[in-house]
Structure 1
């Protein structure tokens, strides 16, 4: 087939819609492998930074952009989708306020593709979603183009597996699960990603591939919920859960360590399980285990603030409503600037509601960026840690364990340190003022 030949020879122009944490690394990787790539996004600020040769994603450096400048361009003009023989959709799939799937970004993108797509194009959804989305949602929209699926245009699914801050794996080295609607679409999707990444794993249907991704994230969400609950239990028994996990992790089989924290962050783990629970209701199948895990993880910020309130009252001698709290780390995980679904934002909101004054430090987030939620905190600036003195702070709350934070300096503030990440103990620092929560 002509399209298969164009893809296999890496002459196909690859259009990537959504140049965020998934799309931009994928675009650079595809361009580095020789494909001509056009990136599409509605955010003019991203276009301006790319025009200036500046990356806004930790996984992509300015040097990376320079390396692929002859193969990679970007635009807000979606009519240029007509130039592409492969279109990859990398847009957000958040939840509504009712914790139901919000596919509006996917649907809007697919309608734009249908308006401009040319015959002889393969379309692949990368956004995490519930099983059935590709065939039930995207396929009917693409058919409004007047082109025939499986003959003129081809559809598949290949879930993103990005892990911001992971220095051991990158877009190219992480195995890619792929599937197509029909054998020919599957062949095209497989050939496309075989030219971009090192390892391609083909599964029978898009629904299978969708289920693979959602299973990966539910596995993590449930196991994190388990250790969060164990933490609450062991705290009551005066047992250090971190020491328990360290001991259990010495077993060379049958155990995999997960770690507690102040809540779940990132785009995937806090959100994706609810995509499956929503879809399961359509089939009248209960998802009690998954929903319980979500309840435990969602409640962790409340537990942290409750414990902080007790500690401030007992050790500082004042109510939380009169306390000044230093929040250490607002990114959702260590060593990144990614703020998506960060539990630190929920902690900040709960502390504000309690009447506390909150300042934050974060070496990766000098200013809180625009977010779908917590708009009241956008543009709030980090405090310079060098300016902090003991008379300014009543308690320190460590929410994110960035390596670049000077944890020893926190001891100089001479106040209780509430550590949700066990970072002080891991660094062998004086634990007299530290309270593991």
Structure 2
């Protein structure tokens, strides 16, 4: 099913789409050269926002967990990409161990595991799912929507290898974002590939590092394409120590929010944009749509309610927020059946394999859609036989729009590659 996109592209994004389509050979060559120098993350999903005058990534996830939202038509791309990724890492791989989140009660998450297992099985691997949850003592089988069954088994650590009873994998795929840190059981493995690496986990990773890398990528790409990088880059500031529960660091937060709002107003004036600027204050680590606040006026910070402070103070697994990133807010002008929507692009290795729209009927164009009540509609990659059509009128073709989304998604994936290289604890450091 192809979603009905109510919003037509106009203004700067229309021009950006035209420039992207006209430059397709140059863009693909640019990416090809980048991937000769840098290793893409094993798999990635990117949340995008299309404001009509700006298209930018707002979040990049290195442990994507919505694979079940991909349609059957998207699976061949995912399988081919999985084959390419595994061939580069461990060509003679036979067994793959998937390590899930510890909480496997969510049926949607279990469906995600079933889809991952299907993809890698079709890529030619024996796939089993092994939990590092110390509470799991014996295999448990769950039924997921559609009648499929998923078995989760307790992992076994022997010497310097990790596996299951009678199952020794060459490659271990983490689908657990390690928000609470890497447990010792996954450290110091011998001749086993752990993907993504441990320093990709949210106990180490910081969004500010990612968007600093993305800013660099956007500048280089913008120069190559001859566009203002602001059209594809969300500006940001950050604030060090913040304690919402005690009200500490709020002056630093207010100063940086005000400075960023001023920069956005200047850009809006330059492009003749008649929208009210806003920023999004987020925990600098973590996901799941927690620890996020929209600020339209710096004075809003003075009147934060106790409930709002509590929501900002703690994210998943009860972690306290002590660092925040202040990100330029990007409106979303996409609509599906009158509900606000944002595209999410899924990639494996260096390839776009599909995606979906995150849709929320009760949220506004300037609000976070990754919240309870959101729904998911597959992207139009279901039209697998239709490639981008450079000759078509900009803004009129779904495949053209999705090609542009894939380009921006790959820029964010490339930024994640830069980020992981810069934060790799085992990388050689030269004076």
Asked if these proteins are the same fold (TM beyond 0.5), I'd say no
Higher RCO structure (Cα 8 Å, ≥6 apart) = 2
Normalization by structure 1: what TM-score?
A: 0.29
Structure with more of its chain in helix, by fraction: 1
Normalization by structure 2: what TM-score?
A: 0.29
Instruction: Give 1 or 2 for the bigger CA radius of gyration.
Output: 1
Structure with more of its chain in strand, by fraction: 2
